[in-house]
Chains A and B, each alone.
Chain A
Amino acid sequence: MSANVQTPAQGYWETEPHHHEEGASTSLGFWVYLMSDCLMFAVLFAVYGVLGQNFAAGPGPKALFDLTLIAINTGFLLVSSITFGFAMLAMVKGNQRTTLIWLSVTLPLGLAFLALEIYEFHHLIHLGAGPQRSGFLSAFFALVGTHGLHVAFGSIWLVTLMVQINRHGLIPANRRRMSCLSMFWHFLDVIWIGVFTFVYLLGMI
């Protein structure tokens, strides 16, 4: 009887760890990171939602925001999203040159977005509407600034990845990095939809 109970036990315990190909779980792990990043942005949105009306007798959204500028900036991010998508498609086909070309189209668009945002921040601070002016402006700079920082780091990542691809070609490691940066870049675009809707458009109504 005891033999009957014990023999199948061999099959229940795995003596060897699961074998996974290298990097098989990277994209899921990176996705989980993006979700945690999403929670961080949600906190910043909540802060903006709570503090967004506290002007401390200072300027409000209508006096400060320029929607034309924001529309151009949104355009930059949108176009950069599709050019990054084309870079991904070229990568899937294994075409290194086309991948690099599309990446080098994406980079200036990201930098143009950053330049316009820095111009906007500089303009606001010059008007005396810096982050220390009111609760509304503190929350605004925290939220929009964090998104801008993400785009800045995404651009740095883009440059390093272009160097990597140029040196080592479309090896599996670089393909993984491309997939991660692709998710990161599109994710930032999704966050920007929230920013331009809740901060700029709703502020101007």
Chain B
Amino acid sequence: MSAHPNDTHGTHGHTAEDGHDHGSYKSYIIGFVLSVILTAIPFYIVMSGGFENRSLTALVVIAFAVAQILVHMVYFLHMNGKSDEGWTMMSMIFTVIVVVIMLAGSLWVMYNLNANMMPQMNHDTLGFGS
């Protein structure tokens, strides 16, 4: 009766002062230098006219953007699997999934809509409207 199994509560560990990683000068500088490089290269590629193949240019530019977003996540936002017992990472993964479904879905549906509605469904050719 007198035993309190809940006594262990409230002792779960907080390593840093507030349980968060704030990085160091070194990590900020590394992140900054990486971001500058990852920004400068795609800007240079596009401003100097890009490659012969336009889709290749687009792919390279997008690849640099993804790399830079990851750099920002790690070096500036200090993402890791540990902060707030992993819930930060979980909520981000959930958001990324929803964003990907929404972006890909919207673009896919609207692209097909445009492709299928033009131009043979034009009102003039079918004699609809004014």
Residues of A within 8 A of B (CB): 7, 10-11, 14, 18-19, 25, 27-28, 31-32, 35, 38-39, 42-43, 45-46, 49-50, 67-68, 70-71, 74-75, 78, 81-82, 85-86, 88-89, 92, 175, 179, 183, 186-187, 189-190, 193-194, 196-198, 201-202, 204-205
> A202 and B92: CB pair below 8 A?
no
Interface centre among B87, B98, B106, by most chain A C-beta atoms within 10 angstroms, is B106
Option from A7, A14, A42 in Cβ contact (under 8 Å) with B1: A7
Report B105-120 CB contacts with A as 1/0, cut-off 8 Å: 0110010000000000
Distance between Cα atoms of A205 and B17 in the complex (Å): 48
Task: Tell me the nearest residue of chain B to A19, going by C-beta.
Answer: B10
Q: Which residues of B contact A27 (CB under 8 A)?
A: 18, 20, 83-84
> B103 and A31: CB pair below 8 A?
no
Number of A-B contacts (CB under 8 A): 132
Distance between Cα atoms of A77 and B23 in the complex (Å): 19
Q: How far is the CB of B126 from the nearest CB of chain A, in Å?
A: 22
Q: Which residues of B contact A32 (CB under 8 A)?
A: 91
5 A-B pairs (CB sep. < 8 Å): A11-B6, A35-B92, A49-B106, A197-B62, A205-B57
Sorted from nearest, which 9 A-B pairs have the closest CB atoms? Answer: A197-B65, A46-B106, A35-B95, A85-B28, A42-B99, A186-B76, A50-B110, A11-B5, A82-B32
B4 within 8 A of A: yes
> B76 and A197: CB pair below 8 A?
no
Given contacts A46-B106, A190-B72, contact A31 B39 (CB under 8 A): no
Distance between Cα atoms of A119 and B20 in the complex (Å): 39
Task: Tell me the nearest residue of chain A to B76, going by C-beta.
Answer: A186
Q: How far is the CB of B29 from the nearest CB of chain A, in Å?
A: 8
> A189 and B43: CB pair below 8 A?
no
Q: Which residues of B contact A82 (CB under 8 A)?
A: 28-29, 31-32
Q: How far is the CB of A23 from the nearest CB of chain B, in Å?
A: 9
Task: Tell me the nearest residue of chain B to A32, going by C-beta.
Answer: B91
Q: Which residues of A contact B24 (CB under 8 A)?
A: 89
